[in-house]
A and B are shown apart, each in its own frame.
Chain A
Amino acid sequence: MKLSDHSRWTRLAAVLAIAMLAVAVLALAAGCGSNDSGGGSSEEGGEVVIGVDASMTGPLAGFGAHEKWSIEAVVADYNANGGVTIDGKQHQVKIVLYDDKSDGNVAAKNVDTLITKDKAIAIIGPIVPTVGNPAALAAERRGVPYIESGNPLEPFLAVKADSGGWKYAFDFFVSGANLGKSTFQWLADYGLDKETNMKVATVVDNSADGPVFDAIWTANAESFGWTEVEMPPYPMNATEFGSLITKLKESDADYVVALGDTPVLIALRKQMDAAGYKPKVMDFARGAQLQQFSDALGPLAEGIVIDSYWTPDTGYPGAAELGTRFAEESDISIGQMVGPSYATGQILMDAITAANSTDPDKIVAAIAATDGDFVCGPIKFDANHTATLQSLITQWQSGKSEIIWPVDMATAEVIFPLP
């Protein structure tokens, strides 16, 4: 064999080997890139696909993990009872889940893919407005029913405020107005506001709900008689807070309320401690509700108050059982979105059965007619496609998120001031 023939065969062999490897990798990626779960087809009808976008990586990954477990659990429950009913036939539900990497652009693309490639008849959206709003818009553009929780109502409504409101997307969560009120109401109800200097420092990030929280806290601080010291907003991925902490110290505020993602709030709390700054009360919204916040901070998390909406101890139907089941089936710590995420699945699958159809408009009408008690409390959608959950105030105590407000739902005594 000539040297050139040998080189040609060698190159051909190399090309074939690379091609086979590429095919194998692509096949593996197709199997791993989406997360399919759900039953096989029943004898009566085939599968129907419900698409899910969740933040499985990135700063919102803690929420995504809870959402994934909850959706898979509720689908398994429904499939065990035959699934959903369409045109009089029972259909097993298949979940196709994509990771948006805590990125709104990726969330929107995922929803498009779920609808166009995976043929999802409805979408369950991710948690937090940064990813939830783009995902909802993507589903709205395609005319596909969409439901989410974890997106405060005001940022959700603001997206379509000037264009006639949502037609296909639904959101149920706490309202920013109630959240903002509860941030100060709990102190008043316990009389603890009188033990402070009635100065509150407010800190928000530049996320979609940052300005919403900023406005709501300002309004409620005034109505509850607090003097507000507003701090400049910070970028969502900030890690350094030297200047902010200096300003907080200078503000002399006994109460600090801050909005941010988990890594940011962890960094802020650590740097506050390192700088020797400790107000009497701290309320951290959004990122502090995850167990990893408490686990990462250890004793530094003790006494931090969280604007909340669900724990297994709320007393809602099935909440305690869901919490027990989560502890048994999952190796991660429970979070507040477990209940509402489970309920999104309940509401959607009930609506599909009530619609008895995969027609988007019929499913939308059925979701809009939802009126019942779910694992996260009573849900009834209004004309704007939103439903309000009861706001709670919880507090990290010995690594557990205890309800401290409303007072009649409290599961523990209040820790005041910060230890």
Chain B
Amino acid sequence: MPSANDLLNAVLTGLGIGGLFAVIALGLSLVFGVMRLMNLVHGELIVLGAYIVYYLGASAGLDPLVATLIAAPAVALLAYPLQHYGLSPVMSRGAEAPLLITFGVSVILQNLFIVGFSADVRSLNTSYAGANFNVLGVTMPVIYVICLAVAIVLLLGTHFLLTRTGFGRRLRASSEDAVAAGVMGVNVRRVYSLTFAFAAATAALGGTLIGLTFSFAPTTGTAYLVTGFAVVVLGGVGSVKGTLLGGLMLGVIESIGATFVGDGWRVFIGCIVVLIVLSVRPQGLFGSARGA
């Protein structure tokens, strides 16, 4: 039976991992909430961000978190035309076409990564990635604190963007009713593209945190795409608060569950939690119920 200390350790580390989950999922939640698009290229944007940070570190000696300030806008700049010219023209024709396009781009990017960067596993190494400190008798890795802090800052910032800025108003309007928003003078296509770019930037940030905490390779993105969707479903589509709390909840529950039954059951426990939430509250914990 785990001790109280073990459980406290699980909660604290779970919050850190959950913060990482939230960062990964934010972009997915926004794109799906605004455009009703399951962005299957999100995982590869995460990995792309990690690679850019990796090579900025290798060539210019930049700290990964500093390099992210370059990588995130770079990934956003690549994502904008993908949405604006690749996805927007087909979005009015149903969900299938954009879904397939993102799937195709995902496959292309994976192969480009292999060709360009090789299939080798990479990792981002810094002194603070391996540091730790003691809190309430628990050894807390610094990297998990960083993940949690980044998640809170990012999601608060996103909440501010959505609720206190003109772009946020236009985004919410486009999400509620794109046609009506268009009639009211909102350039919906541009809002969609900027949202997609913003989501890509957050994905790049997630890639940095993944590289610092774990490792990455050309095909790593798919696993984190699945995790991101789990958080989106849990927290509620399009809900920033839901994404943060959903991510934290998933991280903590997985960690506590692993404490009882082992790390090998983490994914299983996470899936069970998602299924339970879906069955009880299909719109997610903080999503709004929509009429049929």
Contacts and interface: CB of A to CB of B under 8 A. Distances in A.
Interface of A: 56-59, 61-62, 64-65, 101, 206, 232-235, 237-244, 246, 262-263, 266-267, 270-271, 273-276, 292-293, 295-300, 332
A266 B139 CA distance: 20
B185 interface: no
9 contacts: A59-B121, A232-B264, A239-B223, A263-B121, A266-B214, A267-B215, A270-B215, A300-B125, A332-B118
Contacts of B119: 56-58, 61-62, 64-65
A187 to B, nearest CB: 26
A88 to B, nearest CB: 42
B258 interface: yes
Contacts of A293: 121
B254 interface: yes
Interface stretch (B5-13, B74-82, B90-98, B186-194): B5-13
B219 A243 contact: no
A275 B255 CA distance: 15
A243 B259 contact: yes
Contacts of A273: 130
B149 interface: no
B158 to A, nearest CB: 26
Contact of B139 (A58, A276, A292): A276
Contact of A57 (B132, B214, B219): B219
Given A242-B9, A266-B215, A267-B214, A274 B141 contact: yes
Given A267-B215, A270-B213, A262 B121 contact: yes
A234 B263 contact: yes
B141 A275 contact: yes
A85 B9 CA distance: 66
Main secondary structure, interface of B, reads: helix
Contact of B266 (A240, A271, A298, A300): A240
B139 A65 contact: no
B6 A274 contact: no
Q: Which of A61, A101, A267, A300 has the most CB of B within 10 A?
A: A61
B121 A62 contact: yes
Shortest beta-carbon contacts, A-B, top 6: A61-B119, A274-B141, A296-B123, A273-B130, A243-B258, A292-B120
B272 interface: no
Main secondary structure, interface of A, reads: helix
B264 A235 contact: yes
A242 B120 contact: no
B17 interface: yes
A296 B263 contact: no
B120 A243 contact: no
What class of interface size applies to chain B in its complex with A?
A: 35 or more
Contacts of B142: 274
Contacts of B254: 240
Contacts of A298: 125
Interface string B1-29: 00000100110011001000000000000
Contacts of A237: 223
A235 B265 CA distance: 8
A276 B132 contact: yes
Q: Which of B144, B215, B217, B219 has the most CB of A within 10 A?
A: B215
Contacts of B214: 239, 263, 266-267, 270
A247 B113 CA distance: 37
A273 B214 CA distance: 12
A262 B132 CA distance: 24
A263 B263 contact: no
A330 to B, nearest CB: 11
A232 B213 contact: no
B263 A241 contact: yes
Given A57-B119, A297-B125, A240 B141 contact: no
B140 to A, nearest CB: 9
Contact of B123 (A62, A274, A276, A297): A297
A274 B131 contact: yes
Interface in B204-253: 213-215, 217-220, 223
B130 A206 contact: no
B172 interface: no
A57 B264 contact: no
Given A239-B223, A243-B10, A332-B120, 4 more contacts: A64-B119, A263-B220, A275-B139, A276-B139
Nearest to A233: B264
Contacts of B132: 274-276
B143 interface: yes
Contacts of B86: none
B62 interface: no
A239 B227 CA distance: 12
A332 to B, nearest CB: 7
A296 B266 contact: no
A295 B214 CA distance: 14
B220 to A, nearest CB: 8
B125 A292 contact: no
Contacts of A244: 262-263
Contacts of B100: none
B156 interface: no
B122 interface: yes
A292 B218 contact: no
Given A57-B119, A274-B141, A240 B258 contact: yes
A295 B120 contact: yes
Q: Which of B121, B132, B219, B266 has the most CB of A within 10 A?
A: B121
B131 A59 contact: no
Contacts of B213: 270
A296 to B, nearest CB: 4
B109 interface: no
Given A274-B142, A274-B143, A266 B123 contact: yes
